[in-house]
Amino acid sequence: MGIFIKIILILIVLYYLYKFLGGEFKLPKKKSSSIDDNDENTLVECCKCEVYITQKEAVKKGKCYYCQECKEEI
């Protein structure tokens, strides 16, 4: 009986260590950063000169995206 209780206690400690060190800290950051990367790398078309640019570089106005050159002429 003593050995089984020790193993269960060690598993509980390991579980809480994993939850505090691995589960809580890393997962939320990984999720949000990967979503941001996907958005930034999506190609969109400039409504004025029809050039393709990444969403990170594009300027959104209404339903349209504009490139850096066209945004000053809007």
Binding site for Zn ion (CB under 5 A): 46, 48-49, 67, 70
CB 54 within 8 A of CB 41: yes
Quick check: 44 and 38 in contact, CB under 8 A? no
Work out how close the CB of 17 gets to Zn ion at its nearest, in angstroms, rounded to a whole number.
Answer: 53
Minimum distance, C-beta of residue 50 to Zn ion, in the bound complex (Å): 7
Q: Which residues of 47-56 are buried (b: 16+ CB within 10 A; e: fewer)?
A: beeeeebeee
- In the bound state with Zn ion, the residue whose beta carbon lies nearer, of 44 and 70, is 70
- State in angstroms the smallest separation of the CB of 61 from Zn ion: 12
